[in-house]
Amino acid sequence: MKVYKFGGASIADAGRMTALLPIMTGEDQPLLIVLSALGKTTNALEVIVNHAYKGDDDGALALAKQLEQQHLDYARALLNDEYYAKAQQLLQPLFDEFERAIKDADGSSYDFSYDQVVCMGELFSSRLLYCLLLQYGIKTEWTDIRKVVRTDDTYRDAVVDWNHTKLEAEAIIGRQLKHNRVVVVQGFIGSTGYGSSVTLGREGSDYTAAIMAAMLKMESVTIWKDVNGFRNADPKLFPDTVKIDAISYAEVIEMAFYGAQIIHPKTIKPLHNNNIPLYVKCFLDKELEGSVIKADVSDTHYPPLIVLKDKQILVQVTTRDFSFITEDNLSKIYGIFHSLKVKINLIQNAAISFVACIDNREDKVMALKQVLGKDYKVSVNENVNILTVRHFTPEVIFDLTKDKEILLRQQTRKTVQVVMK
Q: Report pLDDT for 264.
A: 80
Q: Which domain holds residue 384?
A: 305-420
The CATH number of whichever domain residue 145 belongs to comes to 3.40.1160.10
Would you say residue 298 has pLDDT above 80?
A: no
Q: Does residue 246 lie within any of the structural domains? A: no
Q: How far apart are CA 357 and CA 383, in angstroms?
A: 11
Q: Which amino acid is at 40?
A: K
Q: How far apart are CA 411 and CA 325, in angstroms?
A: 21
Residue 132, pLDDT score: 98
Residues 192, 87 within the same domain: yes
| 247 found inside a domain | no
The residue-averaged pLDDT of 310-314 equals: 95
Question: In Å, how far are 29, 45, 46, 50 from 101, measured between CA atoms?
Answer: 38, 12, 13, 12
Whether 324 shows a pLDDT value over 80: the answer reads yes
Decide: 63 and 51 in contact? Cβ < 8 Å.
yes
Query: How confident is the model at residue 235, as a pLDDT?
Result: 87
Considering the domain boundaries, does residue 244 fall inside one?
no
pLDDT at res. 260: 82
Q: Which residue has the higher pLDDT, 192 or 362?
A: 192
Q: Quote the pTM value.
A: 0.86
Residues above pLDDT 90, as percent of the chain: 86
- Cα separation, 182 vs 274, in Å, equals 23
Residue 98: the pLDDT is 98
Q: Confirm whether 78 is domain-assigned.
A: yes
pLDDT of residue 256: 85
**pLDDT tens digits for range 219-277:** 999 999 988 888 999 988 998 899 999 999 989 988 888 888 778 878 999 999 999 99
Does residue 267 lie in a domain region? no
Is the same domain home to 179 and 30?
yes
Note whether 216 and 332 are same-domain residues. no
Q: For residue 265, what pLDDT is reported?
A: 78
* Amino acid 263: pLDDT: 81
Whole-angstrom distance, CA of residue 283 vs CA of residue 27 = 15
Q: What is the pLDDT of residues 379-392, one digit of tens each?
A: 999 999 999 999 99
Please indicate, yes or no, whether residues 309 and 207 belong to a single structural domain of this protein.
no
Residue range 336-364: mean pLDDT, rounded: 93
Q: What is the mean pLDDT of residues 115-134?
A: 98
Same domain, 87 and 190: yes
Distances (CA, A) of 106 to 52, 63, 91, 225: 8, 18, 25, 36
Q: How many structural domains is the chain composed of? A: 2
Q: Could you say which of 183, 209, 225 is where a domain stops?
A: 225
pLDDT at 280 over 80: yes
Q: What span, in angstroms and rounded, lies between the C-alpha atoms of 210 and 169? A: 12
Residues 189 and 319 placed together within one structural domain of the fold: no
pLDDT on residue 253? 87
Average pLDDT over residues 75-93: 98
Q: What DSSP string describes 25-62?
A: T--SS-EEEEE-PSTTHHHHHHHHHHHHHTT-HHHHHH
Confidence category of residue 68, pLDDT binned at 50, 70, 90: very high
Mean pLDDT across the chain? 94
Picking from 225, 247, 268, the residue at the C-terminal end of a domain is 225
Q: Give the domain-ending residue among 225, 257, 292.
A: 225
Bridging pattern class, strands 140-142 and 2-6: unpaired
pLDDT higher than 90, residue 201: no
